[in-house]
Chains A and B, each alone.
Chain A
Amino acid sequence: MRKLKEFIIDKLIFICGLASIFFVILIFLFLSKEALAVFKYVSPVDFLAGKRWYPISEPAQLGILPLIFGSLMVTLGAAIISIPIGIACAVYISEVAPSGIKEFLKAGIELLAAIPSVVLGFIGMVTLVPWVKRIFGLPTGLTALSGSIILAFMAMPTIVSIAEDALYSVPKNYKEGAFALGATHWQTIYRVLLPAASSGIVAAVMLGIGRVIGETMAVMMITGNAAVIPHSILVPVRTLTATIAAEMGEAVVGSEHYFALFAIGIVLFIISFIINVSADLFLHKRS
Protein backbone atom coordinates (compact mmCIF):
# COMPACT_ATOMS: atom_id res chain seq x y z
CA MET A 1 0.00 0.00 0.00
CA ARG A 2 2.70 2.41 1.02
CA LYS A 3 4.72 1.42 -1.99
CA LEU A 4 1.80 2.12 -4.28
CA LYS A 5 1.33 5.53 -2.70
CA GLU A 6 5.02 6.30 -3.15
CA PHE A 7 4.79 5.19 -6.75
CA ILE A 8 1.77 7.39 -7.51
CA ILE A 9 3.28 10.45 -5.85
CA ASP A 10 6.56 9.82 -7.61
CA LYS A 11 4.89 9.70 -11.02
CA LEU A 12 2.66 12.70 -10.29
CA ILE A 13 5.68 14.83 -9.46
CA PHE A 14 7.41 13.52 -12.54
CA ILE A 15 4.45 14.60 -14.70
CA CYS A 16 4.34 18.02 -13.04
CA GLY A 17 8.03 18.38 -13.69
CA LEU A 18 7.56 17.61 -17.36
CA ALA A 19 4.47 19.79 -17.66
CA SER A 20 6.34 23.06 -18.06
CA ILE A 21 8.54 21.66 -20.82
CA PHE A 22 5.47 20.15 -22.42
CA PHE A 23 3.65 23.51 -22.43
CA VAL A 24 6.65 25.32 -23.87
CA ILE A 25 6.82 22.78 -26.68
CA LEU A 26 3.07 23.04 -27.31
CA ILE A 27 3.24 26.84 -27.43
CA PHE A 28 6.19 26.70 -29.76
CA LEU A 29 4.45 24.23 -32.07
CA PHE A 30 1.26 26.28 -32.16
CA LEU A 31 3.16 29.51 -32.84
CA SER A 32 5.21 27.83 -35.57
CA LYS A 33 2.16 26.35 -37.25
CA GLU A 34 0.53 29.78 -37.61
CA ALA A 35 3.76 31.69 -38.19
CA LEU A 36 5.34 29.60 -40.92
CA ALA A 37 2.37 30.31 -43.18
CA VAL A 38 3.59 33.89 -43.56
CA PHE A 39 6.52 32.68 -45.62
CA LYS A 40 4.08 31.82 -48.40
CA TYR A 41 3.69 35.59 -48.85
CA VAL A 42 7.12 36.94 -47.95
CA SER A 43 10.60 35.39 -47.87
CA PRO A 44 12.28 35.00 -44.46
CA VAL A 45 14.98 37.47 -45.49
CA ASP A 46 12.45 40.12 -46.55
CA PHE A 47 10.51 39.51 -43.35
CA LEU A 48 13.47 39.88 -41.00
CA ALA A 49 15.43 42.52 -42.94
CA GLY A 50 12.59 44.44 -44.62
CA LYS A 51 12.43 48.07 -43.56
CA ARG A 52 8.77 48.80 -44.22
CA TRP A 53 5.89 47.61 -42.04
CA TYR A 54 2.57 48.26 -43.82
CA PRO A 55 0.56 45.16 -42.93
CA ILE A 56 -2.84 46.19 -44.28
CA SER A 57 -1.80 47.56 -47.66
CA GLU A 58 -2.33 45.71 -50.92
CA PRO A 59 0.14 44.05 -51.32
CA ALA A 60 1.13 44.02 -47.66
CA GLN A 61 4.69 45.02 -46.80
CA LEU A 62 5.87 42.90 -43.92
CA GLY A 63 9.38 43.95 -42.93
CA ILE A 64 10.00 43.79 -39.20
CA LEU A 65 13.56 45.16 -39.01
CA PRO A 66 12.33 48.51 -37.57
CA LEU A 67 10.32 46.61 -34.95
CA ILE A 68 13.30 44.45 -33.94
CA PHE A 69 15.49 47.55 -33.64
CA GLY A 70 12.71 49.30 -31.71
CA SER A 71 12.52 46.49 -29.17
CA LEU A 72 16.31 46.27 -28.87
CA MET A 73 16.71 50.04 -28.49
CA VAL A 74 14.15 50.29 -25.71
CA THR A 75 15.57 47.21 -23.97
CA LEU A 76 19.16 48.44 -24.24
CA GLY A 77 18.18 51.83 -22.82
CA ALA A 78 16.31 50.21 -19.95
CA ALA A 79 19.26 47.90 -19.24
CA ILE A 80 21.75 50.79 -19.16
CA ILE A 81 19.57 52.64 -16.67
CA SER A 82 18.39 49.78 -14.48
CA ILE A 83 21.47 47.52 -14.17
CA PRO A 84 23.89 49.93 -12.41
CA ILE A 85 21.17 51.42 -10.22
CA GLY A 86 19.67 48.01 -9.45
CA ILE A 87 22.98 46.39 -8.49
CA ALA A 88 24.07 49.41 -6.45
CA CYS A 89 20.73 49.34 -4.68
CA ALA A 90 21.14 45.63 -3.93
CA VAL A 91 24.64 46.23 -2.54
CA TYR A 92 23.37 49.06 -0.38
CA ILE A 93 20.48 47.02 0.99
CA SER A 94 22.49 43.89 1.73
CA GLU A 95 25.76 45.41 2.94
CA VAL A 96 25.54 49.03 3.91
CA ALA A 97 22.05 49.95 5.07
CA PRO A 98 21.21 49.82 8.77
CA SER A 99 18.47 47.30 9.48
CA GLY A 100 15.64 49.87 9.83
CA ILE A 101 16.29 51.42 6.42
CA LYS A 102 16.88 47.98 4.95
CA GLU A 103 13.39 46.74 5.77
CA PHE A 104 11.88 49.98 4.59
CA LEU A 105 13.71 49.82 1.24
CA LYS A 106 12.83 46.20 0.68
CA ALA A 107 9.16 46.92 1.25
CA GLY A 108 9.39 49.88 -1.12
CA ILE A 109 10.92 47.78 -3.87
CA GLU A 110 8.28 45.10 -3.49
CA LEU A 111 5.69 47.81 -3.80
CA LEU A 112 7.32 49.02 -7.01
CA ALA A 113 7.03 45.49 -8.39
CA ALA A 114 3.33 45.45 -7.57
CA ILE A 115 2.41 48.49 -9.69
CA PRO A 116 0.58 47.27 -12.82
CA SER A 117 2.37 48.15 -16.05
CA VAL A 118 -0.60 50.05 -17.45
CA VAL A 119 -0.46 52.37 -14.44
CA LEU A 120 3.26 52.97 -14.96
CA GLY A 121 2.52 53.66 -18.62
CA PHE A 122 -0.17 56.13 -17.71
CA ILE A 123 2.09 57.94 -15.23
CA GLY A 124 4.81 57.99 -17.88
CA MET A 125 2.42 59.46 -20.43
CA VAL A 126 1.27 62.38 -18.29
CA THR A 127 4.53 63.19 -16.44
CA LEU A 128 7.61 61.71 -18.10
CA VAL A 129 6.70 62.31 -21.74
CA PRO A 130 6.24 66.13 -21.50
CA TRP A 131 9.37 66.24 -19.35
CA VAL A 132 11.51 64.37 -21.92
CA LYS A 133 10.15 66.64 -24.65
CA ARG A 134 11.08 69.81 -22.74
CA ILE A 135 14.54 68.76 -21.51
CA PHE A 136 15.80 67.53 -24.86
CA GLY A 137 13.88 70.10 -26.94
CA LEU A 138 12.26 67.37 -29.04
CA PRO A 139 9.25 67.64 -31.35
CA THR A 140 7.57 64.92 -29.27
CA GLY A 141 8.25 63.22 -25.94
CA LEU A 142 6.88 59.86 -27.12
CA THR A 143 10.34 58.34 -27.61
CA ALA A 144 12.42 55.24 -26.96
CA LEU A 145 14.01 57.06 -24.01
CA SER A 146 10.64 57.53 -22.27
CA GLY A 147 9.95 53.82 -22.76
CA SER A 148 13.40 52.89 -21.47
CA ILE A 149 12.99 54.93 -18.29
CA ILE A 150 9.60 53.43 -17.46
CA LEU A 151 10.81 49.91 -18.29
CA ALA A 152 13.87 50.48 -16.09
CA PHE A 153 11.43 51.05 -13.23
CA MET A 154 9.81 47.72 -14.04
CA ALA A 155 13.07 45.80 -14.30
CA MET A 156 14.53 47.27 -11.12
CA PRO A 157 12.50 45.28 -8.54
CA THR A 158 13.48 42.00 -10.23
CA ILE A 159 17.16 42.96 -10.42
CA VAL A 160 17.33 44.33 -6.88
CA SER A 161 15.59 41.50 -5.10
CA ILE A 162 17.41 38.66 -6.89
CA ALA A 163 20.83 40.37 -6.73
CA GLU A 164 20.25 41.11 -3.07
CA ASP A 165 19.47 37.43 -2.44
CA ALA A 166 22.66 36.46 -4.27
CA LEU A 167 24.78 38.85 -2.19
CA TYR A 168 23.11 37.66 1.00
CA SER A 169 23.90 34.03 0.25
CA VAL A 170 27.66 34.63 -0.08
CA PRO A 171 29.17 32.67 2.88
CA LYS A 172 29.90 34.87 5.89
CA ASN A 173 33.51 33.62 6.17
CA TYR A 174 34.43 35.19 2.79
CA LYS A 175 33.62 38.58 4.24
CA GLU A 176 35.32 37.85 7.54
CA GLY A 177 38.41 36.60 5.71
CA ALA A 178 38.58 39.79 3.66
CA PHE A 179 38.28 41.95 6.76
CA ALA A 180 40.93 39.86 8.54
CA LEU A 181 43.32 40.56 5.66
CA GLY A 182 42.82 44.27 6.24
CA ALA A 183 40.49 45.05 3.33
CA THR A 184 38.19 48.05 3.73
CA HIS A 185 34.43 47.64 3.51
CA TRP A 186 34.34 48.89 -0.10
CA GLN A 187 37.28 46.68 -1.12
CA THR A 188 35.47 43.71 0.39
CA ILE A 189 32.30 44.48 -1.56
CA TYR A 190 34.07 45.16 -4.82
CA ARG A 191 36.76 42.44 -4.74
CA VAL A 192 35.10 39.65 -2.76
CA LEU A 193 31.32 39.85 -2.48
CA LEU A 194 30.44 40.96 -6.03
CA PRO A 195 32.62 38.33 -7.74
CA ALA A 196 31.36 35.64 -5.36
CA ALA A 197 27.74 36.57 -6.10
CA SER A 198 28.30 37.23 -9.81
CA SER A 199 26.35 34.24 -11.10
CA GLY A 200 23.28 35.28 -9.12
CA ILE A 201 23.69 38.88 -10.25
CA VAL A 202 23.88 37.84 -13.91
CA ALA A 203 20.71 35.81 -13.43
CA ALA A 204 19.07 38.87 -11.87
CA VAL A 205 20.05 41.05 -14.83
CA MET A 206 18.84 38.47 -17.35
CA LEU A 207 15.47 38.09 -15.65
CA GLY A 208 15.16 41.87 -15.52
CA ILE A 209 15.90 42.13 -19.25
CA GLY A 210 13.50 39.29 -19.92
CA ARG A 211 10.75 41.28 -18.26
CA VAL A 212 11.64 44.39 -20.26
CA ILE A 213 11.63 42.80 -23.69
CA GLY A 214 8.26 41.15 -23.13
CA GLU A 215 6.57 44.23 -21.70
CA THR A 216 3.76 45.55 -23.85
CA MET A 217 1.26 47.95 -22.37
CA ALA A 218 3.60 50.62 -21.01
CA VAL A 219 5.74 50.77 -24.16
CA MET A 220 2.68 50.91 -26.37
CA MET A 221 1.46 53.95 -24.46
CA ILE A 222 4.69 55.99 -24.43
CA THR A 223 7.04 55.07 -27.28
CA GLY A 224 4.98 56.59 -30.10
CA ASN A 225 4.81 53.34 -32.14
CA ALA A 226 6.36 54.73 -35.34
CA ALA A 227 7.83 51.87 -37.37
CA VAL A 228 11.17 53.45 -38.36
CA ILE A 229 14.69 52.20 -37.66
CA PRO A 230 15.79 54.41 -34.75
CA HIS A 231 19.04 56.36 -35.24
CA SER A 232 19.07 57.62 -31.66
CA ILE A 233 17.25 56.97 -28.41
CA LEU A 234 15.39 60.28 -28.72
CA VAL A 235 13.07 59.21 -31.55
CA PRO A 236 9.77 57.29 -31.49
CA VAL A 237 10.04 53.52 -31.94
CA ARG A 238 7.61 50.65 -32.40
CA THR A 239 8.33 47.45 -30.50
CA LEU A 240 7.53 43.84 -31.44
CA THR A 241 5.19 43.41 -28.48
CA ALA A 242 3.27 46.64 -29.08
CA THR A 243 2.76 45.67 -32.72
CA ILE A 244 1.17 42.35 -31.80
CA ALA A 245 -1.03 43.93 -29.14
CA ALA A 246 -2.16 46.84 -31.30
CA GLU A 247 -2.90 44.86 -34.45
CA MET A 248 -4.13 41.44 -33.39
CA GLY A 249 -7.69 42.70 -32.93
CA GLU A 250 -7.94 43.85 -36.54
CA ALA A 251 -6.03 41.15 -38.40
CA VAL A 252 -8.44 39.07 -40.48
CA VAL A 253 -7.99 35.46 -39.34
CA GLY A 254 -6.10 33.58 -42.04
CA SER A 255 -4.64 36.67 -43.74
CA GLU A 256 -0.94 37.32 -44.25
CA HIS A 257 -1.16 40.04 -41.57
CA TYR A 258 -2.44 37.49 -39.04
CA PHE A 259 0.34 35.03 -39.84
CA ALA A 260 2.92 37.83 -39.71
CA LEU A 261 1.87 38.71 -36.17
CA PHE A 262 2.40 35.09 -35.13
CA ALA A 263 5.79 35.16 -36.81
CA ILE A 264 6.64 38.23 -34.72
CA GLY A 265 5.65 36.11 -31.71
CA ILE A 266 8.19 33.49 -32.81
CA VAL A 267 10.89 36.16 -33.16
CA LEU A 268 10.16 37.34 -29.61
CA PHE A 269 10.19 33.74 -28.40
CA ILE A 270 13.60 33.17 -30.00
CA ILE A 271 15.04 36.39 -28.57
CA SER A 272 14.01 35.49 -25.02
CA PHE A 273 15.23 31.93 -25.59
CA ILE A 274 18.66 33.30 -26.57
CA ILE A 275 18.74 35.54 -23.49
CA ASN A 276 17.92 32.61 -21.20
CA VAL A 277 20.36 30.22 -22.83
CA SER A 278 23.19 32.73 -22.73
CA ALA A 279 22.45 33.39 -19.05
CA ASP A 280 22.57 29.64 -18.43
CA LEU A 281 25.83 29.20 -20.33
CA PHE A 282 27.35 32.04 -18.37
CA LEU A 283 26.26 30.56 -15.05
CA HIS A 284 27.65 27.12 -15.89
CA LYS A 285 30.95 28.51 -17.07
CA ARG A 286 31.32 30.26 -13.74
CA SER A 287 30.57 27.26 -11.61
Chain B
Amino acid sequence: MVKRALVVLVSLFLAGTACAAENGGSIQIKGSDTMVNLAQAWAEKYMEENPADFIAVTGGGSGTGLSSLISGSCDIAMSSRNIKEKEISLAKQRGVVPFEIKVALDGLAVVVSPLNPVDRLTVDQLAGIFTGRITNWKEVGGKDEKIVVLSREVNSGTHVYFKEHVLRGNNINSREEFTPNALMLSSSQAIADEIAVNPSAIGYYGMGYISDKQKAVAVADDEKAAYVEPNIENVISGKYPISRPLFFYTNGQPQGLTREFVDYALSKEGQDIVVKTDFVPVKK
Protein backbone atom coordinates (compact mmCIF):
# COMPACT_ATOMS: atom_id res chain seq x y z
CA MET B 1 0.00 0.00 0.00
CA VAL B 2 2.67 2.44 1.12
CA LYS B 3 4.94 1.38 -1.68
CA ARG B 4 2.20 1.96 -4.23
CA ALA B 5 1.36 5.35 -2.78
CA LEU B 6 5.01 6.29 -3.04
CA VAL B 7 5.21 5.18 -6.64
CA VAL B 8 2.15 7.26 -7.43
CA LEU B 9 3.58 10.29 -5.63
CA VAL B 10 6.94 9.98 -7.32
CA SER B 11 5.31 9.63 -10.71
CA LEU B 12 3.04 12.61 -10.10
CA PHE B 13 6.11 14.61 -9.18
CA LEU B 14 7.92 13.43 -12.25
CA ALA B 15 4.91 14.12 -14.43
CA GLY B 16 4.91 17.64 -13.04
CA THR B 17 8.57 18.26 -13.64
CA ALA B 18 8.45 16.64 -17.05
CA CYS B 19 6.98 19.77 -18.57
CA ALA B 20 10.05 21.67 -17.44
CA ALA B 21 12.46 19.46 -19.34
CA GLU B 22 13.60 21.06 -22.56
CA ASN B 23 15.39 18.53 -24.70
CA GLY B 24 14.05 15.23 -23.37
CA GLY B 25 10.64 13.70 -23.83
CA SER B 26 8.31 12.17 -21.33
CA ILE B 27 6.11 9.10 -21.37
CA GLN B 28 3.33 7.80 -19.16
CA ILE B 29 3.17 4.14 -18.17
CA LYS B 30 0.08 2.81 -16.44
CA GLY B 31 -1.53 -0.49 -15.52
CA SER B 32 -0.90 -3.77 -13.71
CA ASP B 33 -0.14 -3.51 -9.99
CA THR B 34 1.95 -6.65 -10.34
CA MET B 35 4.27 -4.81 -12.71
CA VAL B 36 4.49 -1.42 -11.00
CA ASN B 37 7.68 -2.22 -9.07
CA LEU B 38 9.34 -3.69 -12.15
CA ALA B 39 8.45 -0.77 -14.45
CA GLN B 40 9.48 1.68 -11.75
CA ALA B 41 12.89 -0.02 -11.46
CA TRP B 42 13.32 0.18 -15.25
CA ALA B 43 12.24 3.81 -15.28
CA GLU B 44 14.67 4.79 -12.51
CA LYS B 45 17.66 3.14 -14.19
CA TYR B 46 16.69 4.49 -17.58
CA MET B 47 16.35 8.03 -16.26
CA GLU B 48 19.73 7.74 -14.53
CA GLU B 49 21.29 7.05 -17.90
CA ASN B 50 19.13 9.56 -19.81
CA PRO B 51 18.59 12.47 -17.41
CA ALA B 52 16.73 14.52 -20.02
CA ASP B 53 13.87 12.03 -20.30
CA PHE B 54 11.06 11.47 -17.85
CA ILE B 55 9.09 8.31 -17.37
CA ALA B 56 6.06 8.28 -15.07
CA VAL B 57 4.80 4.93 -13.77
CA THR B 58 1.42 4.42 -12.10
CA GLY B 59 -0.54 1.32 -11.09
CA GLY B 60 -4.27 0.74 -10.92
CA GLY B 61 -4.66 -2.71 -12.46
CA SER B 62 -4.27 -4.15 -15.95
CA GLY B 63 -7.77 -3.10 -16.97
CA THR B 64 -7.15 0.45 -15.83
CA GLY B 65 -3.93 0.62 -17.87
CA LEU B 66 -5.55 -0.73 -21.02
CA SER B 67 -8.50 1.63 -20.76
CA SER B 68 -6.06 4.55 -20.38
CA LEU B 69 -4.22 3.39 -23.49
CA ILE B 70 -7.54 3.29 -25.33
CA SER B 71 -8.52 6.75 -24.13
CA GLY B 72 -5.05 8.06 -25.00
CA SER B 73 -4.01 9.07 -21.48
CA CYS B 74 -0.91 6.87 -21.36
CA ASP B 75 1.83 5.81 -23.78
CA ILE B 76 2.43 2.30 -22.48
CA ALA B 77 -0.12 0.08 -20.73
CA MET B 78 1.30 -2.60 -18.44
CA SER B 79 -0.83 -5.72 -18.38
CA SER B 80 -0.52 -9.06 -16.65
CA ARG B 81 -3.10 -10.59 -19.01
CA ASN B 82 -3.75 -10.58 -22.76
CA ILE B 83 -5.89 -7.78 -24.09
CA LYS B 84 -9.56 -8.83 -24.44
CA GLU B 85 -11.45 -8.91 -27.76
CA LYS B 86 -13.82 -6.31 -26.37
CA GLU B 87 -10.96 -3.97 -25.55
CA ILE B 88 -9.42 -4.37 -29.01
CA SER B 89 -12.69 -3.46 -30.73
CA LEU B 90 -13.19 -0.51 -28.35
CA ALA B 91 -9.62 0.62 -29.17
CA LYS B 92 -10.25 0.39 -32.90
CA GLN B 93 -13.33 2.59 -32.56
CA ARG B 94 -11.06 5.28 -31.11
CA GLY B 95 -8.33 4.77 -33.69
CA VAL B 96 -5.92 3.02 -31.32
CA VAL B 97 -4.11 -0.12 -32.50
CA PRO B 98 -2.83 -2.06 -29.48
CA PHE B 99 0.64 -3.52 -30.07
CA GLU B 100 1.73 -6.30 -27.72
CA ILE B 101 5.27 -6.71 -26.35
CA LYS B 102 6.14 -9.49 -23.91
CA VAL B 103 8.59 -8.01 -21.40
CA ALA B 104 8.86 -10.57 -18.58
CA LEU B 105 7.36 -13.72 -17.07
CA ASP B 106 5.77 -14.19 -13.69
CA GLY B 107 5.17 -17.35 -11.69
CA LEU B 108 1.93 -17.27 -9.73
CA ALA B 109 2.58 -18.77 -6.32
CA VAL B 110 -0.23 -20.48 -4.42
CA VAL B 111 0.43 -19.69 -0.78
CA VAL B 112 -0.69 -21.03 2.58
CA SER B 113 0.43 -20.41 6.16
CA PRO B 114 3.69 -22.13 7.21
CA LEU B 115 1.59 -23.74 9.99
CA ASN B 116 -0.49 -25.56 7.36
CA PRO B 117 0.77 -29.16 6.83
CA VAL B 118 -0.30 -29.15 3.17
CA ASP B 119 2.68 -28.34 0.94
CA ARG B 120 1.73 -29.78 -2.47
CA LEU B 121 -1.44 -29.65 -4.58
CA THR B 122 -2.44 -30.59 -8.11
CA VAL B 123 -3.94 -28.03 -10.50
CA ASP B 124 -7.18 -29.99 -10.27
CA GLN B 125 -7.24 -29.74 -6.47
CA LEU B 126 -6.53 -26.00 -6.75
CA ALA B 127 -9.46 -25.61 -9.14
CA GLY B 128 -11.62 -27.54 -6.65
CA ILE B 129 -10.58 -25.33 -3.74
CA PHE B 130 -11.01 -22.03 -5.55
CA THR B 131 -14.36 -22.94 -7.15
CA GLY B 132 -15.70 -24.22 -3.82
CA ARG B 133 -15.98 -27.96 -4.63
CA ILE B 134 -13.38 -28.70 -1.94
CA THR B 135 -14.16 -26.85 1.29
CA ASN B 136 -12.18 -28.71 3.96
CA TRP B 137 -8.41 -29.06 4.26
CA LYS B 138 -8.73 -32.77 5.15
CA GLU B 139 -9.89 -33.50 1.57
CA VAL B 140 -6.42 -32.56 0.32
CA GLY B 141 -4.44 -34.13 3.15
CA GLY B 142 -4.55 -31.37 5.75
CA LYS B 143 -6.26 -30.80 9.12
CA ASP B 144 -10.02 -30.95 9.61
CA GLU B 145 -10.51 -27.23 9.03
CA LYS B 146 -12.65 -25.11 6.73
CA ILE B 147 -10.66 -23.62 3.85
CA VAL B 148 -10.69 -19.83 3.69
CA VAL B 149 -10.26 -18.87 0.03
CA LEU B 150 -8.59 -15.51 -0.67
CA SER B 151 -8.65 -13.85 -4.08
CA ARG B 152 -7.78 -10.51 -5.65
CA GLU B 153 -10.58 -8.16 -6.75
CA VAL B 154 -11.89 -8.41 -10.33
CA ASN B 155 -9.81 -5.40 -11.48
CA SER B 156 -6.70 -7.53 -11.10
CA GLY B 157 -5.02 -9.21 -14.07
CA THR B 158 -3.88 -11.86 -11.60
CA HIS B 159 -7.51 -12.66 -10.76
CA VAL B 160 -8.41 -13.04 -14.45
CA TYR B 161 -5.33 -15.14 -15.23
CA PHE B 162 -5.92 -17.47 -12.28
CA LYS B 163 -9.56 -17.94 -13.24
CA GLU B 164 -8.83 -18.72 -16.88
CA HIS B 165 -5.80 -20.93 -16.40
CA VAL B 166 -6.42 -22.71 -13.09
CA LEU B 167 -10.17 -22.69 -12.46
CA ARG B 168 -11.06 -23.20 -16.11
CA GLY B 169 -7.95 -25.14 -17.07
CA ASN B 170 -7.43 -23.03 -20.27
CA ASN B 171 -10.79 -24.23 -21.56
CA ILE B 172 -12.55 -21.21 -23.06
CA ASN B 173 -15.94 -22.94 -22.95
CA SER B 174 -15.67 -23.60 -19.22
CA ARG B 175 -18.05 -21.65 -17.01
CA GLU B 176 -16.18 -22.20 -13.73
CA GLU B 177 -16.08 -19.23 -11.34
CA PHE B 178 -14.46 -18.41 -8.04
CA THR B 179 -16.63 -19.62 -5.17
CA PRO B 180 -18.87 -16.77 -3.97
CA ASN B 181 -17.44 -17.45 -0.50
CA ALA B 182 -13.99 -16.30 -1.63
CA LEU B 183 -12.79 -13.22 0.23
CA MET B 184 -11.92 -10.50 -2.28
CA LEU B 185 -8.93 -8.51 -1.08
CA SER B 186 -7.76 -5.35 -2.73
CA SER B 187 -4.02 -6.06 -3.03
CA SER B 188 -1.44 -8.83 -3.07
CA GLN B 189 -0.05 -7.42 0.15
CA ALA B 190 -3.47 -7.76 1.85
CA ILE B 191 -3.52 -11.43 0.85
CA ALA B 192 0.03 -11.93 2.16
CA ASP B 193 -0.96 -10.31 5.48
CA GLU B 194 -4.07 -12.47 5.91
CA ILE B 195 -2.13 -15.67 5.07
CA ALA B 196 0.47 -14.73 7.69
CA VAL B 197 -2.12 -14.73 10.50
CA ASN B 198 -4.61 -17.32 9.25
CA PRO B 199 -3.50 -20.99 9.18
CA SER B 200 -6.59 -22.12 7.24
CA ALA B 201 -6.36 -19.57 4.41
CA ILE B 202 -5.13 -20.10 0.85
CA GLY B 203 -4.35 -17.39 -1.69
CA TYR B 204 -2.35 -16.66 -4.84
CA TYR B 205 -0.08 -13.88 -6.10
CA GLY B 206 3.13 -13.14 -7.99
CA MET B 207 6.27 -14.87 -6.70
CA GLY B 208 7.75 -11.55 -5.61
CA TYR B 209 5.45 -11.29 -2.59
CA ILE B 210 6.50 -14.54 -0.87
CA SER B 211 8.23 -14.05 2.49
CA ASP B 212 8.95 -16.18 5.60
CA LYS B 213 5.40 -15.72 6.81
CA GLN B 214 3.89 -17.54 3.84
CA LYS B 215 4.60 -20.92 2.33
CA ALA B 216 4.35 -21.48 -1.42
CA VAL B 217 2.93 -24.90 -2.24
CA ALA B 218 4.46 -27.09 -4.93
CA VAL B 219 2.06 -27.60 -7.84
CA ALA B 220 1.67 -30.49 -10.27
CA ASP B 221 -0.36 -30.69 -13.50
CA ASP B 222 -1.94 -33.95 -12.31
CA GLU B 223 -1.33 -36.65 -9.71
CA LYS B 224 1.21 -38.53 -11.83
CA ALA B 225 3.32 -35.49 -12.70
CA ALA B 226 6.09 -34.18 -10.49
CA TYR B 227 5.29 -31.45 -7.96
CA VAL B 228 7.19 -28.29 -8.87
CA GLU B 229 8.19 -25.38 -6.62
CA PRO B 230 7.59 -21.87 -7.94
CA ASN B 231 11.06 -20.46 -8.57
CA ILE B 232 12.85 -18.71 -11.41
CA GLU B 233 14.45 -21.83 -12.95
CA ASN B 234 11.18 -23.74 -13.00
CA VAL B 235 9.29 -20.86 -14.58
CA ILE B 236 11.93 -20.36 -17.33
CA SER B 237 12.03 -24.07 -18.08
CA GLY B 238 8.23 -24.12 -18.20
CA LYS B 239 7.98 -26.88 -15.57
CA TYR B 240 5.95 -24.77 -13.15
CA PRO B 241 2.34 -24.97 -14.33
CA ILE B 242 1.04 -21.54 -13.29
CA SER B 243 3.22 -18.95 -14.95
CA ARG B 244 2.17 -16.12 -17.19
CA PRO B 245 3.68 -13.53 -19.49
CA LEU B 246 3.71 -9.84 -18.57
CA PHE B 247 3.04 -7.37 -21.36
CA PHE B 248 3.54 -3.81 -22.46
CA TYR B 249 0.87 -2.54 -24.85
CA THR B 250 1.54 0.50 -27.04
CA ASN B 251 -0.50 2.28 -29.69
CA GLY B 252 0.94 0.83 -32.88
CA GLN B 253 4.66 0.01 -33.20
CA PRO B 254 6.48 1.94 -30.46
CA GLN B 255 8.11 5.16 -31.69
CA GLY B 256 10.66 7.60 -30.30
CA LEU B 257 11.17 7.56 -26.55
CA THR B 258 8.60 4.80 -26.08
CA ARG B 259 10.62 2.63 -28.43
CA GLU B 260 13.88 3.43 -26.65
CA PHE B 261 12.35 2.54 -23.32
CA VAL B 262 10.90 -0.75 -24.57
CA ASP B 263 14.27 -1.64 -26.11
CA TYR B 264 15.92 -0.86 -22.80
CA ALA B 265 13.49 -3.10 -20.93
CA LEU B 266 14.25 -5.97 -23.30
CA SER B 267 18.04 -5.40 -23.23
CA LYS B 268 20.43 -7.51 -21.15
CA GLU B 269 20.50 -4.78 -18.51
CA GLY B 270 16.72 -4.47 -18.44
CA GLN B 271 16.27 -8.21 -18.08
CA ASP B 272 18.77 -8.23 -15.19
CA ILE B 273 16.44 -5.82 -13.42
CA VAL B 274 13.60 -8.29 -14.05
CA VAL B 275 15.52 -10.91 -12.05
CA LYS B 276 16.30 -8.43 -9.27
CA THR B 277 12.61 -7.59 -8.82
CA ASP B 278 11.74 -11.33 -8.45
CA PHE B 279 10.26 -11.81 -11.90
CA VAL B 280 11.48 -14.08 -14.65
CA PRO B 281 13.28 -12.77 -17.77
CA VAL B 282 11.88 -13.49 -21.24
CA LYS B 283 15.38 -14.15 -22.60
CA LYS B 284 18.23 -15.83 -20.80
Q: What is A's interface to B at a CB cutoff of 8 Å?
A: 52-57, 66, 125, 130, 133, 139-140, 142, 220-221, 224-228, 236, 238, 246-247, 249-255
Contacts and interface: CB of A to CB of B under 8 A. Distances in A.
A249 B60 contact: yes
A215 B67 CA distance: 27
Nearest to B60: A249
A226 B155 contact: no
A247 B13 CA distance: 27
B158 to A, nearest CB: 12
Contacts of B146: 139
Interface string B128-161: 0000000000000000011110000111000010
A250 B64 contact: yes
B180 A227 contact: yes
A165 to B, nearest CB: 38
Contacts of A133: 198
A218 to B, nearest CB: 13
A250 B61 contact: yes
Interface stretch (B108-116, B181-189, B224-232, B261-269): B181-189
Contacts of A125: 193
B183 A140 contact: yes
Question: Chain B contact residues (Cβ within 8 angstroms of A): what range?
Answer: 20 to 34
Contact of A225 (B63, B71, B153, B200): B153
Given A246-B153, A254-B90, A236 B183 contact: yes
14 contacts: A52-B180, A53-B180, A54-B177, A125-B193, A220-B186, A225-B185, A226-B180, A226-B183, A246-B155, A247-B155, A249-B60, A252-B67, A252-B87, A254-B90
Contacts of B9: none
Given A140-B148, A140-B194, A247-B154, A236 B181 contact: yes
Contact of B180 (A66, A250, A253, A254): A66
Interface string B64-90: 100100010000000000000011001
Nearest to B160: A56
Contacts of A220: 186
Contacts of B60: 249
Contacts of A221: 186
A163 B85 CA distance: 56
Given A55-B154, A140-B148, A252 B184 contact: no
A53 B154 CA distance: 11
Nearest to A246: B153
Q: Which 9 A-B pairs have the closest CB atoms?
A: A250-B155, A250-B63, A225-B184, A224-B183, A228-B180, A139-B146, A246-B153, A140-B148, A139-B148
Contacts of A53: 180
B183 A249 contact: no
Contacts of B155: 246-247, 249-250
Contacts of B154: 55-56, 246-247, 250
B63 A252 contact: yes
A220 B182 CA distance: 14
Contacts of A57: 175, 177
Given A55-B154, A226-B181, A236-B181, A249 B197 contact: no
B201 interface: yes
A116 to B, nearest CB: 14
A247 B148 CA distance: 22
Contacts of A66: 180
A142 B86 contact: no
A103 B193 CA distance: 40
A220 B177 CA distance: 21
B142 to A, nearest CB: 13
